[in-house]
Chain A
């Protein structure tokens, strides 16, 4: 096998590369969103307007419902729209075309259409943007059969999974974590794709499984490092996609360690962690030596104040504390 060359790039550069490459590869791919055509606004879309022109990189008015519905229509008509929501909070104005239409059309119309749509939804806090600009809402969308939901946590995955999402024939909610945008990491050169529906072991270990979603996969890796200093060998697993959820991939790790913490940036109640904990215990109950513990945002809005925000949101320290309690 030829050796894969790696180089280090940021999460946002990886998104940018994936968009450039897929637009180059397939002329049916086009972009829409507020301020996407202007390079200075987001590093993820920088250069695309200049490279592909404003027919295929379309600035929209502030009309989330309108342009998302339009994307569903264009997808039915054979195109592959990629939307930029800027923040998932703004996507709430477009729930109808996503949940009532895109997710259900193929099923409802007896398979006559498919909706190959990608909705890029940057999200998350740690930046004092307050209750309406900090939310992590992927949990809402695992309640919607017909959507794929992808939650990449590092540059290699965000690139590989975005490319796969654009080639996927189903509507995809592609969540990006704003707090990871400047994270650097190794990414293979060339046409790098990652499979949708496969978890990844990010660090092997024997004593406890830390499952992290999105930004919290990163926190779990940091937690594992801190735990190593105290003689604990933690395994970190990233589901990477939460619909489909690779239950077997997660359960395999839990069968080995017998203990599990699930961490996510969204709220605890009805969260992705709740779904993972339920699925993993169904698959690996016999191996569990203790209940699965969830680390998540408190069930209150994310306040703007730095100190209060830190109390509400999950962190490496909270994951370490949860793990130590389980191991005690």
Chain B
């Protein structure tokens, strides 16, 4: 048993499992709603990547920050984003987190330290550096975590951001969710290194690759990175190897022309929820209780979203300027 696991109470481990389940069931529900035409705009679901969201966010305080991507539902939920308002945003309601302006790709709940999903690939990393700079000024030991994909690691913004955070020793954790695809492009084709974490070496910061299907393994490496950040030792780069179960977005079929069902099945055998049940010690009875609780929470969120009013025409001018 790892040291980290030893220090986690059973209650916390159950909570981690429940959060993974909340994400899985939220995404499945969202996808169904999307297929029924109830969702406004597109969605990108994170099914298969739950261990990354929960492993990472389970190490954070409420006053730590996260920023995420177009595929950000999981990170949002793991950071404590209010579910009813998040669901309302997907359904385009006035009560939605972004008042139906931003949709799924821009979920944010700043009251919970969630500084937004950002749909322009790579755009969130420089902003994370800025939030890290603010935290550095504040001196309260807060950390900023930015989630991004394997594809985003090829944007100039990644390289500029890591360098900046490194020279200024900012409390930023660059968390790369390598789900093996950027749209239809395989990571191996588009990326110069086998492990994206190797890029940390070019910027003189710690870089580590971790099994992104194992929530405890992710949690462990995050604990170390967060500790460094809080102590003013600077940024870290974490690469979690995981897998995107669904197609990229609304038009992309699950198996596309760029992957085989065999490959998909291999990853599914390592499903993060199955892994978590085992390593966190979740019994069948506990699993059932979690599922029931999650189902209730989701149904409440959905009821709230469905009963919420649509935005008013004049709302188009709301919030343009402070």
Contact = CB atoms under 8 A, between A and B. Distances in A.
Given A129-B41, A303-B100, A304-B100, A312 B154 contact: no
A128 B38 CA distance: 13
B184 A130 contact: no
B185 A34 contact: yes
Contact of A304 (B101, B151, B155, B320): B101
A41 B183 contact: yes
B21 to A, nearest CB: 28
B316 A35 contact: no
The interface residues of chain A, by DSSP majority, are classed as loop
B101 A130 contact: yes
Contacts of B189: 59
Given A130-B101, A131-B102, A305 B40 contact: yes
* Among B101, B122, B313: residue with most chain A CB under 10 A: B101
B316 to A, nearest CB: 5
B23 to A, nearest CB: 22
A311 B313 contact: yes
B119 interface: yes
Contacts of A8: none
Interface string A5-45: 00000000000000000000000000000110011110000
Given A130-B119, A305-B100, A61 B154 contact: yes
Contact of A66 (B92, B101, B156, B183): B156
Interface in B5-46: 40-42
Q: How large is the interface on B (under 10, 10 to 19, 20 to 34, 35 or more residues)?
A: 35 or more
Interface string A137-180: 00000000000000000000000000000000000000000000
A132 interface: yes
A41 B100 CA distance: 28
Contacts of A90: 120-121
A298 B239 CA distance: 42
A129 B42 contact: yes
A133 interface: yes
Interface residues of A, number: 35
B137 interface: no
B297 interface: no
A307 B41 contact: no
A130 B102 contact: yes
A297 to B, nearest CB: 11
A41 to B, nearest CB: 6
B119 A62 contact: no
A92 B92 CA distance: 27
Given A62-B151, A307-B313, A38 B184 contact: yes
Interface string B184-206: 11000111000000000000000
13 contacts: A34-B183, A35-B185, A38-B258, A61-B151, A63-B156, A90-B120, A90-B121, A130-B106, A131-B102, A131-B106, A300-B317, A303-B102, A307-B310
Given A62-B190, A90-B121, A128-B42, 10 more contacts: A38-B257, A38-B258, A60-B190, A62-B152, A92-B120, A93-B156, A129-B41, A132-B120, A133-B119, A308-B100
Interface of B: 40-42, 92, 100-103, 105-106, 119-122, 151-152, 154-157, 182-185, 189-191, 252, 256-258, 310-311, 313, 315-317, 320
